[in-house]
Amino acid sequence: MEGRGSAVNTPATSRPVTRRSKSYGRSCVEAPSYFWQTPGHLTVLKIPTSREAAKSQIITNKVDPEHIALLVKNEWKLSYVTPLYRFRHTELKSYSKHLSAFIIAERQQGVAVEVGLEAGFKVTFTSVLGLAETSEDAETVFIQIQSKPVFAAAADAPKVVWRGWLTCVNGDPEYLRALPPDFVSLPLFCTSGPESLTTLVKSWFERAFDCNFGSLALNSTTLNWLAALWTGCHPTCNIRYLKLAWSLPSQPPLDVSYTVNPQDAWELWNSIHPEESTDGRIDIKEVQSFMNGLETHFFRHFKIYLSAGKLVKVSTALGSAQLDGKIKIGNSDYITTLLTMLTECALLKMLT
Amino acid sequence: MADLSNLTGLVSEPSGEIDSSVSSASNRSLRLAEKEKRKAKADPFGLAVKYLSQVEAGTVVRGNDELERNLVVVETVALSKGLPPEVITVLLDMALSLNAGTVNCTRVLKFLIPATVVPQEAIVKGVSWLCVGKMPMNAQVLFVRWVLTVFDLIDCKDNLRSIYGFIFSFVTEENLCPFICHLLYLLTMREHVHPYRVRKLLDIQAKMGRQPFLTQLLALYKVFRPDLVTLSLPSRARTGFKNHSSTWKVALSAVQKKNKSAVSVDQSLTLDVKEKPSSRKRKLHHLAIPSLSSAFDSNSSKKVFRLQELQSFKELLENIHHIELPAQMGSLLGSALALHYLDCVQDESAFLRLNFWLGHSLQEEFLLCPVDGSSDNTSEACRFLSTVLFSQQFLQEGFSSTESFLYKFLRVWDGSLLRPQILDLLSDIPLMPSFYVHKLLFEPLKQLYFTSTVFFKCSVIECLNSMLVKWLTWHSVSASDGGLDISLNSNSTMTMTLSGFMDSVMELVHFVGLLASEGLRLENCHILLLNQSLAFYETVCDMFVKYSLPLIIMPPAGVFYPALFATDSISVDRLGYIMYRYRKNLTLAKKQEQQREKTPHISRNTYNEFNRNLQAMVNSMWNSWWCIPGSDLEIDKELIALSKVAEPWCRFDLIHHPALFSYAIEFHQRCWPERKDVDLGSIKTGKYWNWYMEFLFNQGFDGLKNFIQTNTGTAPH
């Protein structure tokens, strides 16, 4: 046993030693995708400390106005999605058929359903072209479920019961590039409609594209950013109001709703971040001092430290966002800024 | 039918055997004689079969004594010994043609017990009689039930499969439908699933409601063609087919038992559909392992084998080149057979999918901690982690998603939640550069270690020991592979130089050295902790010989001396073994260096350190003196004098050592049973000393034995 000279097999010089061949997935310490695996401090996806100011763009020049109208109307509940395996934008028609068959089958457990038969539910998948900002972004997919009541008259139009869309706007290019071509990353999933249908749609996606969903709650920092970014838009587009809601951990809990005159808010913001001064980038410190300014003002009047509580909602005419992951898009011209931010939140949450 | 004349010969035993077959073997000669006698006569069974095969249509049945008599002959044989294949063909044809009337049709079907196999052609013919449509419904049902019962005895099924369409056409018969569905279930192949058949079944479903037999068949269709049909089974659905074999069950099993036929029939024709986990009221199902299913857009033109169809390892081997991965990679963890397949998968995307799923599940459950109170359910989490562990141990490799999960989880772990599972998962962490090991693993682990109980400390040392063994094993395997990069995908491999590997191992060994010596100090040399630490050094001391790693690291003083002065004999014995193995390793290293005249790859310091430890051990145990020249361990003589211990230098020799003291006493008693005053010093004199050594070695102290023998030159090399 000992006679088996080990040095015969093991030269003392440094010869490359490889990790076992089939590393299941990728190691956390190798280059291409370590941000997927590693804890915060090693992550490539860092929480940005500065961003570009919100810029208005007439989105309807790029995207079909009808599609945009669909996104603007509703309040959306947010989720994150891991990359979709073998999702193809060319197969949307067949997905429509399968999802509707799936919903019917799930609704009547134990009864088989033929794929492609239209009964009860009609599902439509559409791609919303033009919302993607970079070449790495996959095109947004919009899903609509219409229901035909059993006893409806023939002339009755089917009613839309559920809407949802998967999107990726300005997703981290390094992350997207690192994914093998079999995967499509549309990390942000917005839904509107009954929870039961949302669950069904999610579980269909999970089975069809081997992906997973998790709920996406926003954090206060994101809300702070939105408050500042939206306020900064006031000169170009009237934000009408800046409404902020706090929840204070007192006994009983105290909810504070704080509405600021848009002009006042903008003047405060402008004093912190002069419009003409910088290269258009906004630093997180500026955002913080903006919020501090608002909080100090409130303290002066009501002697309540808002910083002791949690900012739970921000809304302006451009849109609104809540801590529990609900958003509304008020003005389509600023949609890109909002979606960029939410895509980033979804990716960060996914990779925690 | 032409060779009916041969039938007599084919019937293995003449019919008269029935009675004598129960008789004992004692009158064997008698039986033989009788047999001879009978053979001379015409064979009644053969004649009866011959008669029955010639029954023509329109034969008068009522009052036909001859028919009745022949039927009885065949029936008796059938029920006692079963019928040979040819007779089955003949009788089935006779019965289904209704030549002997409807009553006899059911009667014949009921005693149609095969002795060995059922020829496929008989069934095909039977189906064609079914198509003629003359048979009454109860006979039709009986026939199909009979086919189901003997299905596993049918010699070959390809012709039966080619008349799938004919069989399928009977699903519309309401009474036949349950049995036809079962038969189709047993016959269906992928090519049989067509849209028009799916539609037909769905029509029937619409008429009859959700019948288990329809659901079962449709579920099979879904397996083959998920693009055509979809179905979701309720969690507590009644699945499987009812057992249709009751009519023949008793007779068939009796005959089979008697014939001890090699062909066995599955008596319980029910399907064992894997029971789904009972429906829980959990909102989030991220801890459920998905079930195997295929993607609906799977390539339908290619010949594929689906994992759901996989029943045995043999099937896996036969189909390994066209197995289709399931829609959800996570489902592979639920099946042991699928894990075998996973071990051969080379597709990078597949592992990425698996890791996405696993990472997501672990993250949602343990890091994002759902607030719906479901995380209280640790038994489920425990089951999940155990499955992951089982898979990792099966594949002998950790998943990268568990690895990265652990790095995050260690920072929030309280050290008690699911401790055994988490520590087991930790030990699967693959090799990585020392910088990362330290930052991601050791830092958080150190904090937990020093703030937890001694039992946790023991578990941590044990876990790191098993991690070290895995790393070393990996190294020895890859080194004997010639160090080639055998990975297909270059970007999925981490390359590491040998020195990088040694750095990581060194980091790990030093880390455990620190944990062990500090832990022993904190826990007052707890005996369990000491033993875990020594177990770790049993791995470390043999790295060169066992794993071909040119690295020898000595235990720190904080481990060595507590073991040397331990009060339990096991620790001392273990230390003896460890020192013995160190010596072996160092000797081999030295020999190789001299032979190859290469620069020494074991540092001088290691030899010195070993010698110092060796000297300390030999001196205290053997030579009864302490002074170790040049040692960093000098004890002030005056300080010892203060303790007022007589002859302090003798206190740790082989006689007075607290761990061995009781053995010395026992030895003394055996040697001088009459002596009242114990004088242990007398053991040291003359032959008694050798006897004492032998006595000690006979107590199972192999470690000490090896140590003493090699170091006193008494060992046979």
Instruction: Please give the span between the terminal C-alpha atoms of chain A, in angstroms, as a whole number.
Output: 49
CB contact under 8 A, B493 and A23: yes
Confidence of residue B520 (pLDDT cuts 50, 70, 90): very high
Q: CB–CB of B146/B123 below 8 Å?
A: no
CA B288 – CA B554 distance, rounded (Å):
46
Mean pLDDT of A84-111: 89
Higher pLDDT, B481 or B230: B230
Select the residue from B492, B549, B586 to test the A interface by mutation, using most A Cβ atoms within 10 A.
Answer: B492
SS (H, E, C) B498-523: HHHHHHHHHHHHHHHHHHHHHHHHHC
Confidence of residue A349 (pLDDT cuts 50, 70, 90): confident
The rounded percent of chain B whose pLDDT value lies above 70 is 81
Averaged confidence pLDDT in chain B:
81
User: Residue A168: its pLDDT value, please?
Assistant: 96
* pLDDT higher than threshold 90 for residue B717: no
DSSP assignments along A121-162, one per residue: EEEEEEEETT---SSSSPPEEEEEEEE--TT--TTSPPEEEE
Helices (H), A233-282: 262-272
* pLDDT higher than threshold 60 for residue A24: no
Q: CB–CB of B400/A22 below 8 Å?
A: no
* pLDDT higher than threshold 80 for residue A266: yes
Residues of chain A found within 8 Å of residue B407, distances taken between Cβ atoms: 28, 38-39
Q: For residue range B491-512, list pLDDT tens digits in order.
A: 334 556 777 888 889 999 999 9
**Three-state DSSP class for A244?**
strand
Mean pLDDT of B47-54: 84
Instruction: Please give the span between the terminal C-alpha atoms of chain B, in angstroms, as a whole number.
Output: 83
Is A210 an 8 Å CB contact of chain B?
A: yes
* pLDDT higher than threshold 50 for residue B48: yes
Residues of chain A found within 8 Å of residue B357, distances taken between Cβ atoms: 82, 210, 212
The nearest CA of chain A is from the CA of B227 a distance in Å of: 7
Confidence of residue B62 (pLDDT cuts 50, 70, 90): confident
Higher pLDDT, B235 or A347: A347
Q: CB–CB of B433/A29 below 8 Å?
A: yes
Residues of chain B found within 8 Å of residue A7, distances taken between Cβ atoms: 548, 550, 592, 596
Antiparallel, parallel or unpaired: β B229-230 and A113-114:
antiparallel
CA A249 – CA A311 distance, rounded (Å):
12
Confidence of residue A112 (pLDDT cuts 50, 70, 90): confident
Instruction: Give kind and range of the element (H or E) at residue B606.
Output: helix B604-618
User: Residue A153: its pLDDT value, please?
Assistant: 67
CB contact under 8 A, B494 and A10: no
Q: For residue range B647-660, list pLDDT tens digits in order.
A: 777 788 888 888 99
Which B residues, 141 through 160, put their C-beta within 8 Å of a C-beta on chain A?
none
CB pairs under 8 A between A and B: 250
Q: For residue range B101-117, list pLDDT tens digits in order.
A: 888 888 888 888 888 88
Give, as one character, the DSSP assignment of residue B290: P
Other C-beta atoms closer than 10 Å to the C-beta of B316 total 18
Which B residues, 83 through 122, put their C-beta within 8 Å of a C-beta on chain A?
none
Confidence of residue B370 (pLDDT cuts 50, 70, 90): low
Other C-beta atoms closer than 10 Å to the C-beta of A38 total 21
Q: Among all residues of chain B, which has the CA nearest to that of A114?
A: B229
Nearest to A78, CA basis, from A351, A352, A347? A347
* pLDDT higher than threshold 50 for residue B630: yes
Question: Highest-confidence range of A91-105, B222-236, B325-339, B457-471, by mean pLDDT?
Answer: B457-471
Antiparallel, parallel or unpaired: β A113-114 and A242-248:
unpaired
Is B403 an 8 Å CB contact of chain A?
A: yes
Least confident segment among A30-34, B2-6, B622-626: A30-34
CB contact under 8 A, B400 and A27: yes
pTM: 0.78
Q: CB–CB of B122/B154 below 8 Å?
A: no
CB contact under 8 A, A39 and B205: no
Mean pLDDT of A48-59: 81
Question: Judging by beta carbons within 10 Å of its beta carbon (0-12, 13-18, 19+), is residue B318 exposed, middle or buried?
Answer: exposed
Q: Supply B584's token pair.
A: 């072996």
CB contact under 8 A, A28 and B403: yes
Beta bridge partners of A167: A188
Is A17 an 8 Å CB contact of chain B?
A: yes
CA A147 – CA B597 distance, rounded (Å):
85
Higher pLDDT, B501 or A287: A287
Beta bridge partners of A244: A258, A314
Is A9 an 8 Å CB contact of chain B?
A: yes
Question: Judging by beta carbons within 10 Å of its beta carbon (0-12, 13-18, 19+), is residue B303 exposed, middle or buried?
Answer: exposed
Confidence of residue B381 (pLDDT cuts 50, 70, 90): confident
Q: Supply B469's token pair.
A: 């063994």
User: Residue B626: its pLDDT value, please?
Assistant: 64
CB contact under 8 A, A7 and B592: yes
Residues of chain A found within 8 Å of residue B499, distances taken between Cβ atoms: 14
User: Residue B620: its pLDDT value, please?
Assistant: 83
Length of chain B measured in residues: 717
Least confident segment among A189-198, A342-351, B307-316: B307-316
User: Residue B8: its pLDDT value, please?
Assistant: 43
CB contact under 8 A, B494 and A102: no
Rounded alpha-carbon distances, angstroms, from residue B13 to A236, B20, B81, B264, B602: 104, 12, 9, 21, 81
Phi, psi torsion values for B230, nearest 5 degrees: -130, 155
CB contact under 8 A, A16 and B485: yes
Whether the bond between A252 and the residue before it is cis, its omega within 30 degrees of 0, is: yes
Beta bridge partners of A80: A188, A214
Q: Which residue has the tokens 């004890």?
A: B635
Higher pLDDT, B133 or A339: A339
User: Residue A2: its pLDDT value, please?
Assistant: 36
Confidence of residue A311 (pLDDT cuts 50, 70, 90): very high
DSSP assignments along B139-200, one per residue: HHHHHHHHHHHTGGGBS--HHHHHTHHHHHGGGGSTTTHHHHHHHHHHH--GGG--HHHHHH
Q: Supply B390's token pair.
A: 């089982």
Higher pLDDT, B270 or A303: A303
Q: Where are the domains of chain A?
A: 59-215, 220-323
